[in-house]
Amino acid sequence: MLTVIYLTAITAEAMSGALAAGRRNMDIFGVAVIAFVTALGGGTLRDLVLGNFPVGWTQHPEYIYLVISAGLLTTVIAPYMHHLKHAFLVLDAMGLVAFSLIGVSVALGMDYPTVVVVMSGMITGICGGILRDVLCNQVPVVFRRELYASVSLAVCALFLVLREFGVNTDVNTLISFATGLSLRLLAIWRGWQLPTFSYQQRWE
């Protein structure tokens, strides 16, 4: 089941990357690159930091074709995408939660300390979007948007706590997934935000 969700997730992330590229008037090649990086960049960075070679997508050519196709398709259906706004937000939220759980699972298989396992989940969940924004030359939105990265953190922590209590992995995945998805959608609906830190002094 996580595989189906994962494929849905990388498709949604690729589409979000393509839209960001369109906002910068990139050519279709740039669209393909940004789609790829948004969808698979978080997992790549996680594999590099954990020393988990070979990097995931290099063993799954079908993922590469999927995200590039999704990116290019987006250039065609873009004029109609605002009608799909709600579906898109749900897919994006599913992606965030699925990526986080996959990142946790990869690090758990490698004997890293607990806090590194959590960070592995978060790197997988949010770094694709960070790389997209850096390549599009803007401050990453995950650092400023309603609860996004925090949802990733909550999902990873919940999964590890339930695991500590001996909950079966499949059940645990289901509970963590549902909780994370609900939290993210609630955050969007209610406009929940973390407090912001503003600092304008220039004494350095």
Q: Does residue 187 interact with its own copies by CB under 8 A? A: no
Secondary structure letter of residue 40 according to DSSP: H
Q: In whole angstroms, how close is the CB of 105 to its own copies at the nearest point? A: 16
Q: In whole angstroms, how close is the CB of 129 to its own copies at the nearest point? A: 11
- Please, what's the b/e burial string for 54-90 (b: 16 or more CB within 10 A of its CB; e: otherwise)? eebbeeeeebeebbbebbbebbeeeeeeeeeeeebeb
Q: Does residue 80 interact with its own copies by CB under 8 A? A: no
Q: How many CB atoms neighbour CB 179 within 10 A? A: 17
Q: Does residue 10 interact with its own copies by CB under 8 A? A: no
HSE value, Cβ hemisphere, 13 Å, CA-based, for 42: 36
Q: In whole angstroms, how close is the CB of 149 to its own copies at the nearest point? A: 5
Site size toward its own copies (CB under 8 A) is 67
What is the footprint of its own copies within residues 148-177 (CB under 8 A)? Answer: 149-150, 153
Q: How far apart are CA 2 and CA 13, in angstroms?
A: 16
What is the footprint of its own copies within residues 109-148 (CB under 8 A)? Answer: 112-116, 119, 130, 134-140, 142-144
- Provide the sign of the torsion angle of the four alpha carbons 49, 20, 133, 115, taken in this order: negative
Contact between residue 34 and residue 20 where contact means Cβ atoms under 8 Å apart: yes
Q: Which of 50, 91, 101, 183 binds its own copies (CB under 8 A)?
A: 50
Q: Does residue 191 interact with its own copies by CB under 8 A? A: no
Contact between residue 146 and residue 188 where contact means Cβ atoms under 8 Å apart: yes
Footprint of its own copies (CB under 8 A):
16, 18-19, 21-31, 33-34, 44, 48-51, 53-55, 58-59, 61, 64-65, 75, 78, 81-82, 85, 88-89, 112-116, 119, 130, 134-140, 142-144, 149-150, 153, 193-201, 203-204
